[in-house]
Structure 1
Amino acid sequence: MTKTATLYRMHNDKHICPFGLKAKDLLQREGYQVEDHKLTSREQTDQFKQEHEVKTTPQAFINGDRIGGYDDLRKHFDKGEAGQTGETYTPVMSIFAVALLMAVAFVYSTSTTLLSMRVVELFIALSMAILAIQKLRDLYAFSNSFITYDLLAMKVVRYAYVYPFVEAYVGIGMIAGLPAYMVAPFSLFIGTIGAISVFKAVYLDKRDLKCACVGGNSNVPLGFVSLTENLFMIAAGIWMLVR
């Protein structure tokens, strides 16, 4: 027996509701044949809301019963809450994973030996460069988070605006193979201050903070991953000097 559902969603030249598309997709994945009604104007949408006494669209109906919008459909089908909620390491772990794959790809394109220090060097360099991009996307938001735990930025607020540029320079410098004296001191400087700051805030002061490592307004908790980022910088600086 074919299962059918009725969906009303906004779809016009100026706006296509993303939740309407997601609701349609969810219904189809659950085995429903969807009667898709597109609300093509503001007047039509307002009339629908008034008629069914609802405040938002999309609205889905199954067997004549109104289920509601996209979130209501997820609850109806016992799905989890949509999107990332609460604290998560997903953003920074995604960056590390992609940086590692890129490092392997770079080395593979020029050499048949994948197990080499060059992979490690590129992994650290690419990670730093990508993390710097995340911070540079919104320097203001990054600084608001960074100055709450970085010991130097607390005293010299402008350091928070300089930090991402230094991190990007170190990453790019490592990729380019610049002389150690041009890159290593910067890596050691920001890495050491960062490591001490994170260790103090998390393990000594026991503060519950969000990490600015992937930019401001993130839900990445300040902790081991943040400390790892700074330890990477310290290790990179030492390696460049002794290499």
Structure 2
Amino acid sequence: MSTIETERYPYEASSEKKAVLYRMVMENHLCPFGLKSRHLLKSNGYTVEDHHLTTREETDTFQRTHDVATTPQTFIDGERIGGHDDLRRFFGKAVTESGETTYEPVIAIFSMTALMALALIYNLSTGYMPGEGWGLFASAIQWFLAFSMCALAIQKLQDVEGFTNGFLGYDLLARRWVPYAYIYPYAEAFAGIGMIALIGSGSPLIWPVGLVALFIGIVGSISVFKAVYIDKRELKCACVGGGSSVPLGLISLTEDLVMVVMGLWMIGTLLV
């Protein structure tokens, strides 16, 4: 959601540190920028008077009353600061402007592929042999799933901010703690690269890799299942990165279940 152009107010710390926030919290829509604004205010020491706009009509009335085009809107010391981008500027934080040049996608692609190559070389250097028959088939599945996790992580890392906007729409943990949305792509990349490096190695490093995959997979599975199959919400899937038109559902649930299976599989190799 874009923010409106507003007058810029210099940041002066208030002794009371109170802010008033208006954001959309509807049955089928939770504004990610509202969540980000609330987190930004709290992380800067503000007590937030959090007003929920629960219907389209209520939101339209608020926008007409305050002559604004978008929500969320933040007010500090009686002055309207504006939307999420305006709030970031208020606190002196960087804001990526529309159309601004970025090398984030290129960095994400080549950094990840380099790490994947190094992980594969490390695995081969341990002398791992997949065996024959079922052993070969099982190894092929593990490699496929590990590389798939890395590919999905690359999609997210090309536009982390865009990914978080979609992810905050349904992930239960990210809604409670916004930084988790930013951590998730790196956690998925860590798990995928770790699996490539450690499949069949028997290394104790499998524990952190497996536990990370297990954790994000379980949280993700519960979140997607609740959003799609219990709440019956129609959302876009953040699993392939920001701006995706893929509907949230079986694909995203499968991604999360794959991480659960791989986490259990990797840990299981240390226990048998």
What band does the TM-score fall into relative to the shorter chain?
0.5 to 0.7
Q: Give, in whole Å, the separation in 2 of the partners of 1:217 and 1:157.
A: 19
Q: SS in structure 2 opposite 1:222?
A: coil
Residue 227 of structure 2 corresponds to 201
TM-superposed CA distance for 1:118, in Å, is 1.0
Q: Deviations over 1:81-105 (max 9, x none)?
A: xxxxxxxxxxxxxxxxxxxxxx9xx
Q: CA RMSD in A?
A: 2.2
TM-superposed CA distance for 1:117, in Å, is 1.2
TM-superposed CA distance for 1:235, in Å, is 0.3
Q: Tell me, which stretches of 5 or more residues in structure 1 are unaligned?
A: 1-102
Q: Give, in whole Å, the separation in 2 of the partners of 1:180 and 1:125.
A: 13
Residue 121 of structure 1 corresponds to 142
> Relative to structure 1, is the Cα distance of residues 188 and 112 closer, same or farther in structure 2, using a 3 angstrom cutoff?
closer
TM-superposed CA distance for 1:113, in Å, is 4.5
1:211 and 2:237 correspond: yes
Q: SS in structure 1 opposite 2:240?
A: coil
Amino acid at match of 1:234: V
Q: Give, in whole Å, the separation in 2 of the partners of 1:159 and 1:112.
A: 39
Of the three residues 238, 254, 257, the one matched with 1:228 is 254
Residue 172 of structure 2 corresponds to 151
Amino acid at match of 1:207: R
Amino acid at match of 1:131: L
Q: Which aligned runs of 4 or more in structure 1 are off by greater than 3 angstroms? A: 110-115
Q: Give, in whole Å, the separation in 1 of the partners of 2:241 and 2:256.
A: 15
Q: Give, in whole Å, the separation in 1 of the partners of 2:228 and 2:176.
A: 19
Q: Normalising by structure 2, report the TM-score.
A: 0.48
Q: Normalising by structure 1, report the TM-score.
A: 0.53
Q: Deviations over 1:115-141 (max 9, x none)?
A: 421111111110110100000000110
TM-superposed CA distance for 1:231, in Å, is 0.4
Q: SS in structure 2 opposite 1:116?
A: helix
Q: Tell me, which stretches of 5 or more residues in structure 2 are unaligned?
A: 1-119
1:1-243 alignment runs, 5 A limit: 113=132, 115-177=136-198, 179-243=205-269
Rg comparison, structure with higher value: 1
Q: Give, in whole Å, the separation in 1 of the partners of 2:148 and 2:130.
A: 21
TM-superposed CA distance for 1:112, in Å, is 8.4
Number of equivalences? 137
TM-superposed CA distance for 1:185, in Å, is 0.7
Amino acid at match of 2:180: Y
Q: Deviations over 1:169-223 (max 9, x none)?
A: 0000000005321211100100000000000000000000000001011011100
TM-superposed CA distance for 1:240, in Å, is 1.0
Q: What is the identity percentage for the equivalent residue pairs of Structure 1 and Structure 2?
A: 54
Q: Deviations over 1:29-58 (max 9, x none)?
A: xxxxxxxxxxxxxxxxxxxxxxxxxxxxxx
